């Protein structure tokens, strides 16, 4: 399972994750709100809310922000009403793209997402055209400077991890069933290993290898989608060689 790592690695290397910290908080808050709205504010009885809280804590969101988001979801505090939607389509060389959004205006968001796909050389498809290519997984990221791979395996396999990917040169990615995200993050914390991120994700089953110029075109599309205010997460199934990866870090 190495499909989650390429785009994540490129973003880490370009410093994009730090630059998006404020947007990461906004995405976490929206996910907590909708999880609490649908399943109630008791995280012990709401698995989606537990996962959302785990993700927010991994992003270092203050507990007060988490509590306010829960209360907005349950109606104890006023807040916007968000609707979930997904978009599926294709980028350069037929790369599959799957987009998750939370929006308060579905018609507006659909038109804007369609425009982004068209502007950056992609094609928005019908629902179901690529979703089957992506398996729901929990993904926990840990810096390779924080722990050896042997020690990491020892900690996370007992907590429910299915696999550990070490293809990246800066981070380990731990894959698990989504319900096991919380136990894996807790096990890492108990072992003194800092978690960089912990999230419910989608991992592609197959990959499309891209050369540098096609990868650059695709990254522009992915960047534009991620910059959209209503977009929660963007997944794709592109891959690049180690040599191309090095070239992309500086672009």
Q: How many H helices and E strands in the chain?
A: 10, 10
Its CATH class, for the domain covering 83-132+206-246, is alpha beta
CATH number for the domain whose boundaries are 134-204: 3.30.70.980
Per-residue pLDDT at 234 exceeds 50: yes
- Per-residue confidence (pLDDT) for residue 2, from 0 to 100: 45
- Tokens 């928005």 found at: 124
- Tell me which residue of 56, 70, 83 sits closest to 197, measured CA to CA: 56
- Per-residue confidence (pLDDT) for residue 50, from 0 to 100: 93
Q: Which two tokens stand for residue 240?
A: 């690049």
Residues of the chain with CATH 3.30.70.980: 83-132+206-246, 134-204
DSSP calls for 211-233: -HHHHHHHHHHHHHHHHSTTEEE
What's the CA gap between 62 and 60, in Å, rounded? 6
CATH 3.40.50.300 fits 15-74, yes or no: no
pLDDT in tens, 8-44: 666 655 555 555 666 888 899 999 999 999 999 999 9
- Per-residue confidence (pLDDT) for residue 17, from 0 to 100: 52
What's the CA gap between 198 and 205, in Å, rounded? 20
Q: Which two tokens stand for residue 106?
A: 């579905």
Residues of the chain with CATH 1.10.10.200: 15-74
pLDDT in tens, 123-176: 999 999 999 999 999 999 998 998 999 999 999 999 999 999 887 777 899 999
**In angstroms, how far is CA 36 from the centroid of its own chain?**
20
- Per-residue confidence (pLDDT) for residue 15, from 0 to 100: 55
Per-residue pLDDT at 227 exceeds 60: yes
CB 202, CB 235: distance < 8 Å: yes
Maximum pairwise Cα distance, the chain: 53
pLDDT in tens, 35-71: 999 999 999 999 999 999 998 998 889 999 999 999 9
H or E segment and range at residue 13: helix 5-13
DSSP state at residue 15: T
pLDDT in tens, 78-135: 877 889 999 999 999 999 999 999 999 999 999 999 999 999 999 999 999 999 999 9
């Amino acid at each position: 399972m190495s499909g989650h790592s390429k785009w994540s690695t490129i973003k880490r290397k370009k410093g994009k994750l730090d630059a998006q910290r404020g947007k990461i908080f906004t995405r976490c808050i929206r996910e907590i709100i909708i999880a609490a709205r649908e399943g109630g504010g008791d995280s012990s009885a709401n698995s989606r809310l537990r996962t959302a809280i785990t993700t927010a804590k991994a992003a270092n969101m203050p507990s007060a922000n988490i509590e306010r988001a829960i209360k907005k979801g349950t109606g104890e505090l006023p807040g916007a009403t968000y609707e979930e939607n997904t978009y599926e389509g294709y980028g350069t060389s037929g790369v599959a793209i799957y987009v998750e959004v939370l929006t308060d205006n579905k018609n507006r968001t659909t038109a804007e997402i369609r425009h982004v796909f068209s502007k950056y050389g992609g094609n928005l498809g019908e629902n179901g055209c690529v979703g089957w290519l992506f398996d729901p997984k929990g993904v926990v990221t840990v810096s390779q400077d924080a722990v050896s791979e042997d020690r990491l395996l020892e900690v996370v396999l007992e907590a429910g991890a299915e696999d550990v990917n070490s293809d990246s040169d800066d981070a380990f990615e731990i894959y698990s069933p989504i319900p096991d995200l919380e136990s894996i993050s807790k096990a890492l914390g108990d072992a003194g290993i800092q978690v960089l991120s912990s999230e419910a994700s989608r991992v592609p089953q197959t990959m499309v290898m891209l050369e540098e110029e096609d990868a650059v075109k695709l990254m522009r599309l992915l960047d534009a989608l991620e910059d959209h205010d209503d977009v929660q997460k963007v997944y794709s199934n592109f891959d690049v060689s180690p040599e191309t990866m090095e070239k992309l870090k500086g672009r």
